[in-house]
Amino acid sequence: MNAMLSRVADSLYWMSRYLERADHVARQFDVHLTIVTEQAVDVARRRRRRLITCLVNEDEYAAAEASDYDLAYLLTFDEDNPSSLVNCIASARENAHQVREQINSQMWEQINQMYLTMRSQSMADLWSGQPHNFYHWINQEIYRFQGITDSRIMRDQGWHFVQIGRYLERASETADSLNVDFRELYSSALETDAVDQQTYLEWVGLLRGCAAYEAYSKVYTANVQPRHIVEFLLLSPIFPYSVRFGINRIQSSLQFVGEETETPKSARIFRLSGRQRAMLDYAQVDEIIDGGLGSYLLNIQNQCAQIHQLIYETYIAYSIEDKLSTR
Amino acid sequence: MDEPERVIATRDARFAAYQLDGAYDEMFTPDGVPRPPYASLYKRLLELTPAELETRQQTADLSFLHQGITFTVYSDARGTERIFPYDLLPRIITAAEWEMVERGLVQRITALNLFLHDIYHKGQILADKVVPVDLVISSKHYRRQMRNLDVPHGVYVAVTGTDLIRLPDGRFAVLEDNLRVPSGASYMLANRQVMKRVFPGLFSLYGVRPLEFYGQALQNTLAALSPVGAEETTTVLLSPGVFNSAYFEHTFLARQMGIPLVEGRDLVVHDNIVYMRTTAGLRRVDVIYRRIDDDFIDPLAFRKDSMLGVAGLFNAYRSGSVTLANAIGTGVADDKAVYAYVPAIIRYYLGEDAILPNIETYQCGDEKERGFVLANLDKLVVKAVGESGGYGMLVGPHSTAAERETFRTLIESDPRNYIAQPTINLSRAPCFLDGQVEARHVDLRPYILYGKRVTILPGGLTRVALRRGSLVVNSSQGGGSKDTWVLNW
């Protein structure tokens, strides 16, 4: 039986989750800034509102009429927004700090440097300089951190908790973007007509925001079709940002942790993640769209939330009495 | 100290402000000639331009910042993280000097460990009136809960950090014993890592004794004290957590030893067995290298308001199922009032004279000595006996009249709690400050490990009072540190 401290598993999980969120927020906003320059005023306004729905989860913001400057502040420096970049990176660093002796020195130095640089930035510098460079820098730094992680750390439980955090966040984010954009942009008319130029920009934005545009083009060519987008972002077994890819990774990592810790095979967490994986492995895109993409995606997000809950109940915040009685 | 200040005669401008006077200078003889072990360093310093030195200093500082080698300043309400200032120039100790320090430390720690066993058992040394019984019982760190408790292998102090200073005549003397939870070993190791990066050539030229084995030595020391076989022992480091000023050190040492760092909330006690909460359920713990003070370790046995400790830990310890290193109640032997008796303690248990001298100490608890102290507050250093880290201290010659009055009142209201010592002119070592080489006061904290046998790390942490003229080297009071080289020759 191999064991790691529950608190350590918890911190590794959140460290990884917060970084993945920062990666997503930085990329989405970077893509937004390039697209919005070519959009009509009302189209751009709707775009901003969708972005707030996806990235902030606060109704009060969605109602407000935010400019790109406001949005940049909200997503980057706003201390009251738990998902702002400054908060995500500080939380990731704080969690890394909590497990300073568990992660290797290169990982810690990378995240610590990123945090220190982030702290030294101001909104004025960001906006008067080149915002693209800044958000691009965030993504690059996070990839560097993930690169160090993947090339350096042992494939023990700790690594698997890092994986679970990363892919739970990623799968939820991709599902969320797909859901919000689809609800507003999709109509069945699109199935027959060629996509017009304005809408084309939005669909490409959805793909870019999920780091998917280049990969999509390799599979489907530059022919942007909503149905293909759903198929790719939801069901691709080989694209690392797709929901299915993430769910597969989560299921294998939970399997590993379960074997290491001798968790009973019948445990709820295995049944749930196994069922979720099977559901996506055998799904057909046409059936999903006909049956309602929104409810399908909502179901996936709910299952992700349940897996998060079960990880806590099984490995992290369990009751001592239960464990003593089974010794 | 009253001697006129002299500045060494050298053609080089960067030594222009280098002060030579009554204090022992680590680098220069009183005539301003480099001592033999410093000759190569001196030569190298003259070859390097101030800009080159500055670049190396920046490399070092940045490395500390990125590694997060910082400490938290308690008196600052925002809890600011700061780098522990690092001085670029090494402090050098010859093999002959070190040999004597080593013998002195082994002798001292052996005697102090016997003393702890004695006072918590028969109390022979007290019955023989070598050490006054009142002094021991009234110590803030005496723990009656430890009476008649046998600690594993009779080892009370597994880890010691003894503060040494160099007297004006060049002899090393003991300023303070730290037998509770001495810190700083990680800085010693980090300083060495950085030094090897910024001065690789000089380092290999010198023949410096390595320190890297500290993690392994500490791990072996702890495992040797285990209640079960070393093979099946689970050792953990118990830290107060991420907000503690020494958290960097805790994570560093845990990594060096390859053991888990736990917090109080990670441990539970059931039927006098200590467990840690893991992803695979509860797992038994055998040895705890605790970096939490006695008072906070178990809210049931000691301070009830402690949020850092583990309820029931002391009972588990009493039952012998788990080892705590250091043992509970060791602070009584590093009480600054008991300190004065250490030479007598060494003579009593070992029949030897102390190899490393003590600093003359006046007990304010003694009426006659108190009178002397109160009449000479402007000349003496006054210390609260149970404090550490440079807190609760008056440096007479550098104090204001108001500060002296405060201490007069403090001493009169609780005389047992204060001692005084003559103001010692600590030795000075060269430091690189703002493009100049200047002399600053230093001390030395070697680390002593006591498991199956006593192991002493060659060197230790040299702490520097970076403010000109200051005699206080503690990091919380504006001190820094430098790498310490014990030579093979």
For the segment A135-161, what is each residue's pLDDT rounded down to a tens digit?
Answer: 999 999 999 999 999 999 999 999 999
Owner of token pair 């280098």: B18
What are the tokens at A271?
Answer: 């049944």
| Contact assessment for residue A71 and residue A48, using Cβ atoms and an 8 Å cutoff | yes
Strands B418-422 and B428-433: unpaired
Percentage of the residues of chain B whose pLDDT score is greater than 90:
75
Q: Which of B70, B249, B263, B279 to mutate to test the interface with A (most CBs of A within 10 A)?
A: B279
Helix (H) or strand (E) holding B231: none
Are A323 and B254 in contact (CB < 8 Å)? no
Averaged pLDDT, B337-341: 93
What residues contact B432, with CB distance under 8 A and at least 6 apart?
B53, B57, B87, B88, B89
Q: Tell me, what amino acid is at A34?
A: T
Residue among B83, B111, B93, B167 at smallest CA distance from B446: B93
Rounded to a whole number of angstroms, the distance from the CA of B64 to the nearest CA of chain A is 10
Q: Which of helix, strand or coil describes residue B41?
A: helix
Averaged pLDDT, A284-308: 94
Q: Which of helix, strand or coil describes residue B463?
A: strand
- pLDDT tier at B471 (50, 70, 90 boundaries)? confident
| Contact assessment for residue B316 and residue B273, using Cβ atoms and an 8 Å cutoff | yes
Q: Which of A1, A2, A7, A108 to mutate to test the interface with B (most CBs of B within 10 A)?
A: A7
Averaged pLDDT, A272-291: 94
User: What's the length of chain A?
Assistant: 327
Selection from A64-78, B115-129, B360-374, B394-408 with the highest mean pLDDT: B115-129
Model pLDDT, residue B305: 85
Q: Which of A2, A15, A91, A100 to mutate to test the interface with B (most CBs of B within 10 A)?
A: A100
Are B278 and A94 in contact (CB < 8 Å)? no
| Contact assessment for residue B283 and residue B235, using Cβ atoms and an 8 Å cutoff | no
Q: What is the pLDDT of residues A84-140, one digit of tens each?
A: 999 999 999 999 998 988 898 999 999 999 998 998 888 988 898 889 999 999 999
Residues of A with CB under 8 A from a CB of B: 1-9, 94, 97-98, 100-101, 105, 108-109, 112-113, 116, 157, 257, 260-262, 315-316, 318, 320, 323-324, 326-327
Distance CA(B264)–CA(B246), nearest Å, equals 16
What ipTM did this prediction achieve?
0.86
| Contact assessment for residue A289 and residue A233, using Cβ atoms and an 8 Å cutoff | no
Rounded to a whole number of angstroms, the distance from the CA of A91 to the nearest CA of chain B is 13
What are the tokens at B283?
Answer: 């797992």
Are B282 and A324 in contact (CB < 8 Å)? yes
Distance CA(A3)–CA(B284), nearest Å, equals 11
Cis geometry, peptide bond prior to residue A57 (ω within 30 degrees of 0): no
Q: What is the pLDDT of residues B35-59, one digit of tens each?
A: 999 999 999 999 998 899 999 999 9
Model pLDDT, residue B14: 84
What is the rounded average pLDDT for all residues in chain B?
Answer: 91
| Contact assessment for residue B464 and residue B165, using Cβ atoms and an 8 Å cutoff | no
Range list of β-strands (E), B134-258: 159-166, 172-178, 235-238
A143, burial (CB in 10 Å: exposed 0-12, middle 13-18, buried 19+): exposed
Rounded to a whole number of angstroms, the distance from the CA of A267 to the nearest CA of chain B is 14
What are the tokens at B382?
Answer: 């006054």
Model pLDDT, residue B11: 55
Residues of A in contact with B262 (CB under 8 A): 5
Model pLDDT, residue B3: 46
B71 touching A, CB under 8 A? no
**What is the number of other CB atoms lying within 10 angstroms of the CB of residue B17?**
14
Q: What is the pLDDT of residues A153-207, one digit of tens each?
A: 999 999 999 999 999 999 999 999 999 999 888 875 556 556 677 788 899 999 9
B266 touching A, CB under 8 A? yes
Distance CA(A184)–CA(B30), nearest Å, equals 85
Residues of B in contact with A6 (CB under 8 A): 266, 277-279
B225 touching A, CB under 8 A? no
Averaged pLDDT, B82-97: 93
Is the pLDDT score of B78 beyond 70?
A: no
Q: What is the pLDDT of residues B103-133, one digit of tens each?
A: 999 999 999 999 999 999 999 999 999 999 9
Are A5 and B282 in contact (CB < 8 Å)? no
Residues of B in contact with A97 (CB under 8 A): 68, 242, 247
- pLDDT tier at B71 (50, 70, 90 boundaries)? low
Characterize A27-37 residue by residue with b for buried, 16 or more Cβ atoms within 10 angstroms of its Cβ, and e for exposed. bbbbbbeebbe
- pTM (2 decimals)? 0.90
